[in-house]
Each structure stands twice: as C-alpha cells, then as structure tokens.
Structure 1
C-alpha cells in the first residue's frame, strides 16, 4: 500500500510540473516568450472605386493577432484617421489605442480619407508586429 501511494504522489508532482512548464491550458500570458508573434494580414487596404477618398470610419479589415503574449495594445499613428473596434464590427469603438485581451483574436481597422499608415500591435512583452493600412480613391492601384 505504501509503494502505491508513493507512485501516486510522484505522478501528481510530475503532472503539476509539466502543466506549469507549458503555462497551463488556458492562461494567455504564461510561457509565451519563445512563441512567434505576427498579424495577418500585415497589409490591408480599401478603395472607393470613385474619385473620392473613403468616407469617415470606412472598414478596412479584420486583422488577426497570432502568437505572442496577451494582452495586446493596438496603436494608431493618427487617432483621427485610423480607429479600431472588435472583429466583425461595422463601426469603430476606440481611437488611438485598442486592447485585445486574448491570444489569437482579431480587431477591426477603420480609416477616414486617403492614407497609408502603419498600425502597431504590441504584445505584453513589448514585441511589435505591424499592419500597413491603405485607404485610396479609385481602384486603389
């Protein structure tokens, strides 16, 4: 009986050590130092098809954050012309900065007027990924 108890204790300790080494199953911030960090797409654009520039708060794209360490800060170089919201939204909810709480989630990018700007996405370890946002008149080419 004693031998069986020792094996059970050792198995429990080994299992706990493995879980802590990999960061657990649902903790978005643990164990992500070595993970890759990127956004997809890394270039997103919209064109009006006319001589006019895109209207205020025209949706450009939903952008996925892949890997890295949550939470993420999405930063606009010009909070009047580039705004953000949750993925799938049809109107922006944030100017200047948007927070994405969990790994492998998305955010929406909106543009006002003709522009080409780089949006910065920073993970909790201050690693940076970027997405170039283009809004154009005409065909966009």
Structure 2
C-alpha cells in the first residue's frame, strides 16, 4: 500500500490508486488534543483525497469507508463527518486543497471540537506557523457523536 520513512514523517502511496489509504499511529487516542500536519507533495489530488481522523476502538481500523466513523476535509475544502454509510457535509469549509498546501488538523477529543488550518508552505517546505493560516474552519462534533452513541451505532 505504501512506504513509510524510518522517522515516520513521510508516507508514499504505492499502488492501489483510487482506494482509501489510512495512515495511523500505534495507539488509540481517547481524550485530549491531537494535532496532525499533512502535506500532499506530488501526483494529482482527486476529489476523494483529504485529511481526517477515524474514530475507532482498536487498530488497525477498518479501511472500508462504509464501516468507519470519521471527520475529514476533502479536496474541495468541505468538512464532512462520516458515520458508516451516512455522510454529513458541515457548513464549515476551508479553501480547496492544492499540492504543496500543509493541512493541519487539531482535534480536541475532550471538548469534541475539530479545527482544520490550511498553511502555505515556505521555501523550507514547512509552514510559517507564527503567522495566520491561509484558511481555517472549526467543527463542533459533540452533538452528532452523542446521537450516534445513544442510537447504539458507535460507542466512543
């Protein structure tokens, strides 16, 4: 599916074009603030490309999108939440993702808020995090997670 560099800072997808790639950590997070920074550096971005967080009780999580609960920003900049086969598009959005953009995702699992920032990268290849992002949006996902949990579809 892909190659991960030894320092875990770069993933290169190899094959399986058009299929979901899930890059995960070695542990499941249940609370606190988690931050991720992703940059698409080559190839072409498709409408299906994006960056998100999968809610799962175990690793590895399912790779079939019909079997996951997640929050993500798609290539068009739309923030969405997937609960198994159901897809909700939030009113929040960021600018469309382009090659070279750095996509920051900060998800506060305790307060149930997710923030996406799009940073323009500098000549060094890293964003200037002392300035302001080119685009930013926030989503409070607590209400939806509560209704899923009460319905027995997902327990987080």
More helix per residue: 1
Superposed pair shares fold, TM > 0.5: no
| TM-score using structure 2 length | 0.26
| TM-score using structure 1 length | 0.28
